[in-house]
Amino acid sequence: MSAPSRLRCSGGALRDEHDRVCLLRGVNVSGRSKLPPFLPFEDPAPLDRLADWGMNAIRLLVIWEAIEPARGRIDHDYIARVRSIVAAAGERGLAVIVDFHQDIYASPFCGDGFPPWTIPGEPGPPLHNCSNWGLKYLTDGDVRAAFDRFWADEDDIQAKFFAMWDQMIDRIGDHPGVLGLEIVNEPGWGSRPVVAE
């Protein structure tokens, strides 16, 4: 199979080079992406099944903690491995939505995504007892404070976030298999009220 054709948005639909409406059929490719080594698999063979099942797209999770494990230190090997997954997907006719994934901000909160160095102080090791983890958006003051810091751009966290995206775009943005970039999955709102009063 060849790489998927470039799509454009027109009339509220994705369209191919022949102006045909293109419907995306796919799945998240995550597996172990939320934990070290932060990749869904080592061997791209699972992508064969997706193409065989008639899928034409995947949502590939990438983790900032993997891209920049220490402040200012980019893991170029990780980005190269992400690019190789994008290439393998394209070879199978699967378009890729690259998703900067986060849940509950970072691993010290039972989540994933943002690197622990974006949390002030010593956040501690990753937690592994994560029952009811989704409630932490509402109930965990440290999670809410971390998002408040992000939205307020304390310590230039947003600038660092955009610099991380620049690294990804420089390495994978021109790949013909990339359909789009999801800037951030399910961002938390911090301490703002959940319901307007």
List, for residues 39-74, the tens digit of each pLDDT value: 999 899 999 999 999 999 999 999 999 999 999 999
164/184 Cα distance (integer angstroms): 12
CB 100 within 8 A of CB 185: yes
Which domains are assigned to the chain?
Answer: 8-182 (3.20.20.80)
Helix axes 157-172, 141-152, angle to 10 degrees: 80
How many Cα atoms occupy the beta-carbon half-sphere of 58 within 13 Å? 29
- Residue 197 scores a pLDDT above 90: no
Q: Residue 147 has what pLDDT?
A: 96
CA geometry: angle 48, 81, 182, nearest 5 deg: 80
Confidence of residue 3 (pLDDT cuts 50, 70, 90): low
Q: Are 25 and 55 in contact (CB under 8 A)?
A: yes
Position 28, amino acid: N
**103 within 8 A of 185, measured Cβ to Cβ:** yes
For the whole model, what pTM was predicted?
0.90
Report which of 40, 79, 36 is spatially closest to residue 59, judged by C-alpha positions: 40
CB contact set of 131 (below 8 Å; sequence gap of 6+): none
DSSP designation for 185: S
pLDDT at 159 over 90: yes
What is the reported pLDDT for 11?
A: 92
Query: Which three-class secondary structure state does DSSP give residue 39?
Result: coil
DSSP string, 61-92: EE-HHHH-SBTTB--HHHHHHHHHHHHHHHHT
Over 70: is that where the pLDDT of 196 sits?
A: no
